[in-house]
Each structure stands twice: as structure tokens, then as C-alpha cells.
Amino acid sequence: MSFIEVSHTADVKIRATAPTLETLFSEAFAALMQVLYGPDRKGGRKREIRLETEDHESLLREFLSEVLFIAEVDGLVFSGAEIHIDGCRLVATLDGEPFDRTRHALGTEVKGISYSGLAITHDTNGYILDIVFDV
């Protein structure tokens, strides 16, 4: 994984790096799942998400918010995501399993994905993301 937790006063701040935008979104997704449920996650149930926004920051926030919503409402824990981005359009296929209290209760509740501090930058080495999960 190419993400780390960065010190933050009240919430969980993540910094992720990746060579492509799709990989960056995958790293942010993996960080969210790690914070929520810990490392023991498997696949087997698929969900698709389709989104379109005005910029990449909004697209990422909307994507992670939708993942959070599906996880909470449908009781699913996701282990992976296949993500395709075309401009500011995203199609993602999520792979997960039903929540199991004995395996998935190790994490921290995330209430939302913050716009505050959300930044995607790009340089010759790839993409860098800073994002805050409201806990």
C-alpha cells in the first residue's frame, strides 16, 4: 500500500501516492477500508458505482462517500476496487463481503469524507493525495 496516516488533531488524515489517478483512488479506497474495518477483508460480492463531477477532488470525495454509504447501509466490507476514470467520470466495481463482527470490528467509525484539506497534486513522479476522514 502507498498510503500513510498523518498526524491530525481529531480526525484521520491520509497521504497517498500513486503513479496514476486510478491507482491513487484505489489507495484512498484501501485506506478508508483499513481505517473502518482493519486488514481482514475478503471478496465475493460485487457492487458498481458510476459518478461524474466537475473535478478530481470532488470525484474522489463523492466516490469515497458512496463507498461509505454502501458499506453502512448494505453492511458490506470491501476488499478491492477496480476503478476506471475518464476525465471526471468514474466507474468502479467494488468487491466485498458481508460485515462480520468477529473480523471487522477492529476499525474506527468514519462519519464522512472531508473537503477540508482535500488536495490532489501531480508532478513528474505521479500523484499525491491528502485527505481527511471525519471520525
From first to last of its 135 residues, the chain has per-residue pLDDT tens of 466 555 556 688 899 999 999 999 999 999 999 999 988 888 899 999 999 999 999 999 999 999 999 999 999 999 999 999 999 999 999 999 999 988 888 788 999 999 988 999 999 999 999 999 988
DSSP 106: T
The pLDDT score that the predictor gives to residue 54 is 96
Query: Any idea where the domains of the chain sit in the sequence?
Result: 3-134
Do 62 and 27 meet the contact criterion of CB atoms below 8 Å apart? no
The pLDDT score that the predictor gives to residue 39 is 85
**Taking Cα atoms as reference points, which of 45, 44, 92 lies closest to residue 67?**
92
The pLDDT score that the predictor gives to residue 1 is 44
SS3 state of residue 48? strand
The pLDDT score that the predictor gives to residue 5 is 56
The pLDDT score that the predictor gives to residue 73 is 95
Interatomic CA distance for residues 105 and 87, integer angstroms: 36
Q: Looking at the domain that runs over 3-134, which CATH code has it been given?
A: 3.55.10.10
